[in-house]
Structure 1
Amino acid sequence: MNDLGTYLKELRNKLHLSLKDVQERCGVTDSKLSRLERGEGRDFSPLELKKLAQLYGVNVIPLYIKAGYLDESDLSEYQLIFENANLLNEEEHSSIQTQINLFTKGRQVSDNDF
């Protein structure tokens, strides 16, 4: 969890935000955030981490991993399976999604897929 606190402090400092700024913008109390950044706090909820991720402009998944809510094995089914997919623009993503929809038309998604 200390890794999480250090990471959050680095993000906050990069944005030149005070603890009070964070509290005002996303509702996470300055005392709670300060304890976490010092490696003392351990009671951050997933919702609070999501608010911090949004404020800091980062993906929430690494925060959940650092906090122990997820690990890499939890994500294995949801990770992109194609190399360099992150290099595609929105139009290319849309085109590929249309093709996937055509291939899978009529197939059912089971509850086990989620």
Structure 2
Amino acid sequence: MSSLGTYLKEMRNKCHLSLKDVQEQCGVTDSKLSKLERGKGKILSPQELKKLAHLYGIGIVPLYIMAGYLDESDLLAYQLVFDNAGLLNEEERQSVQTQINLLTKGRLVSKNDF
């Protein structure tokens, strides 16, 4: 957890935000964030981490991994499927999504199937 706190403090400082700025802009209290940044507080909720990620302009997945909400192994299947997907433009991504939708049509399970 201390690595998460250290990372969040680095990102907050990089954005030139005070603890009060963060509280005003995303609702995470300054005392809660300060304790986490010093390695003494409780872990933030996934929703709070998402707000911080958006405010700091950083990815949510690394925060969820550092917080213990995700394991890197949870992402392995997705990483293999989407390897180099970042090199595609929007039109290419939509084309790939259309192909995936066609290949998986009828395979999705609804809650009523259980």
TM-score normalized by the length of structure 2: 0.86
1:80 Cα deviation after fit: 4.7
- Identity in percent: 72
1:1-114 equivalences under 5 Å are 1-105=1-105, 107-110=106-109
Q: CA deviation at 1:6?
A: 0.6
- 2:62 and 2:95 map into 1 onto residues whose CA distance is 29
Alignment partner of 2:81: what SS?
A: coil
Structure 2 Cα separation of the partners of residues 47 and 93 of structure 1: 27
Which ranges of structure 1 fall in alignment gaps of 5 or more residues?
none
CA 20–72 in structure 1, closer or farther in 2 if over 3 Å, else same: same
Normalised TM-score (structure 1)? 0.86
Deviations 1:34-87 (A, max 9, x none): 111111112311111111111111121111110111111222333351431111
Any idea what SS the aligned residue of 2:31 has?
Answer: helix
Larger helix proportion, structure 1 or 2?
2
Deviation at 1:99, TM superposition (A): 2.2
CA distance in 1, matches of 2:91, 2:39: 43
Contact 2:6 2:37 in 1 (8 A): yes
SS of 1:76's equivalent?
Answer: helix
Instruction: Compute the RMSD of aligned alpha carbons.
Output: 1.6
